Amino acid sequence: MSQKRIFIVDDDPKIGELFATVLERDGYAARSFVSATEMFEVLDSEGAPDLVLTDLMMPEISGIQLIEELRERDLTLPIIIMTAHSSVQTAVEAMRLGAFHYLQKPVNLEEMRALLAKALELYSDKIELKEIKTERKKKNSVGQIIGSSPEIEEVKRTIETLKDIPNTTVLIRGETGTGKNLIAQTIHYSSQWNSGRFMEINCAALPDNLLESELFGYEKGAFTDARAAKPGLLEIADGGTVFLDEIDSMSLPLQAKLLSFLESRTFRRLGGIDELKVSTRLLCATNAVLEESVAEKRFRKDLFFRINVVSIKLPALRQMGKDMLLIAEKVGETFGGEFNKPFEGFTDAAREKLLNHEWPGNVRELRNVMERALIFASTAVLDAKDLVLLKTQGFEADNADGYFRFRSGGALEELEYEYIKHILASKKSSYADVARLLGISKKTLWEKRKKYNLDEEVEEMVGS
């Protein structure tokens, strides 16, 4: 790890030299200057340091002016002010301008050491977080969306249009596995909300009571196990985005509470009395036809209108034509890099096989196929034999007669497991529909899914 560089600016050369000597002994690369002008000359030629320790009152350029100059250069580094007791108020003003903290003269060396270490640690974390956000923003940019079909181009145009539009709710539609969550992240990181957090929750993955507490939070004592207050996702993502996947699975009472939040941007935690106001953008997604749910009174009409301000329809993989080959190549490059194996595309037979498959699990299924292919392939160019495509078991082909067959003599629990798995794999709509079909509540379905680990089982079956 390279030494941290510290610049010390004080018009008294003895003080600057003393501090530089002390910090050099502590393992820093310290350098002292008698004026800010001298420091900026070195900064321009050698680059910015990791921290600046400067006197506040100097004859040529003051500490306040030094801070302003550094900020004008857009340099993100901690600045610590040294000041006499009579100038503490000015030091506080310097902190408002961006200084990290201040030290009173005469400076206590141990206090200085501790403050420098804390500043460098915090700013190191801040820079790392900034780099992570920059990388996520790049990874989730509109330019990373693969394809040039009219449907994909329309998706890109819509996201570009949404960049500078505040608070507009977006409904993302598409079959399971089409990448709705990736589009939601792209919308977030391409917009003015990208400095805030992106929080995602699958509405079908939790029973209603847990989903409500996850979204809105709760106060201590709101229910038996609420031993301490907990903020919800809407509160945590203030200034950012909350993405609600499978929103059609939300109960009608919870839909009403969500609608109230969208209308006022305020809510109360469970068990709370205070109205909390947040600036959180809401993105929603569904693989169901919400208009049908509205007609059947399973989804509130007013909420549907409220979340459907902007609608984005994602095409299924089988509808993307040759764009799906571009996606397959990109996935192949990703897994090739992860497995440290060369990937140079597909043979004509492999391309034909990919194009002729129905892809019921869409991009998720494609990723599973490509991952297996890259693990076992012996050549850099994948052939048709390398691509093991699952038959559409659990989909229309095997369910045409409408029957479920199970061997006699099996245990009742085994029968329950196999039947629920069969329905989950064959039913293309929401968990709410599956629960209704089985004649059980969503909470009971959730418990069965967890008991039998059915989510992973079904994903392996259909690649979604």
pLDDT at 43: 92
Q: Tell me the pLDDT of the chain averaged across its residues.
A: 86
Paired sense of beta strands 29-33 and 5-9, if any: parallel
What are the extents of the domains in the chain?
5-136, 148-313, 317-386, 400-462
Residue 330 pLDDT level (bands cut at 50, 70, 90): very high
Considering the four listed CATH numbers 3.40.1190.20, 2.60.15.10, 2.60.40.2220, 1.10.8.60, the one that applies to the domain covering 317-386 is: 1.10.8.60
Tokens at 66, concatenated? 């030094």
Measured distance between the N- and C-terminal CA atoms of the chain, rounded to whole angstroms: 43
What architecture (CATH level 2) is domain 148-313?
Answer: 3-Layer(aba) Sandwich (3.40)
pLDDT at 84: 78
The predicted model scores a pTM of 0.64
Residue 349 pLDDT level (bands cut at 50, 70, 90): very high
Residue 455 pLDDT level (bands cut at 50, 70, 90): confident
Tokens at 179, concatenated? 């990448």
Residue 430 pLDDT level (bands cut at 50, 70, 90): confident
CA distance 422 to 66: 69
CA distance 127 to 19: 26
pLDDT at 464: 42
- 383 pLDDT more than 60: yes
pLDDT at 260: 96
The 3 state secondary structure assigned to the chain is CCCCEEEEECCCHHHHHHHHHHHHHCCCEEEEECCHHHHHHHHHHHCCCCEEEEECCCCCCCHHHHHHHHHHCCCCCCEEEEECHHHHHHHHHHHHCCCCEEEECCCCHHHHHHHHHHHHHHHHHHHHHHHHHHHHHHHCCHHHCCCCCHHHHHHHHHHHHHCCCCCCCEEEECCCCCCHHHHHHHHHHCCCCCCCCEEEEECCCCCHHHHHHHHHCECCCCCCCCCCCECCHHHHCCCCEEEEECHHHCCHHHHHHHHHHHHHCEECCECCCCCEECCCEEEEEECCCHHHHHHCCCCCHHHHHHHCCEEEECCCHHHCCCHHHHHHHHHHHHHHHHHCCCCCCECHHHHHHHHHCCCCCHHHHHHHHHHHHHHHCCCCCECHHHCCCCCCCCCHHHCCCCCCCCCCCCCHHHHHHHHHHHHHHHCCCCHHHHHHHHCCCHHHHHHHHHHHCHHHHHHHHHCC
- 133 pLDDT more than 80: no
- 134 pLDDT more than 80: no
Q: How large a percentage of the chain has pLDDT more than 70? A: 89
Residue 325 vs residues 81, 350, 370, 421: alpha-carbon distances, Å: 58, 10, 12, 31
Return the CATH fold of 400-462.
Arc Repressor Mutant, subunit A (1.10.10)
- 402 pLDDT more than 50: yes
Tokens at 169, concatenated? 């709710």
Dihedral, CA of residue 449, residue 452, residue 456 and residue 460, to nearest 10: -120
Report the Cα 317 to chain-centroid distance in Å: 24
By the 8 A CB rule, do 435 and 445 touch? yes
Q: Do domains 5-136 and 148-313 have the same CATH topology?
A: yes
Give the model confidence (pLDDT) of 71-100 as tens digits.
888 777 899 989 876 666 777 778 877 888
pLDDT at 463: 47
Return the CATH fold of 5-136.
Rossmann fold (3.40.50)
Give the model confidence (pLDDT) of 203-237 as tens digits.
988 888 899 999 999 998 888 888 889 999 999 99
350's CB contacts (< 8 A; 6+ apart) are 382, 383, 384, 386, 387
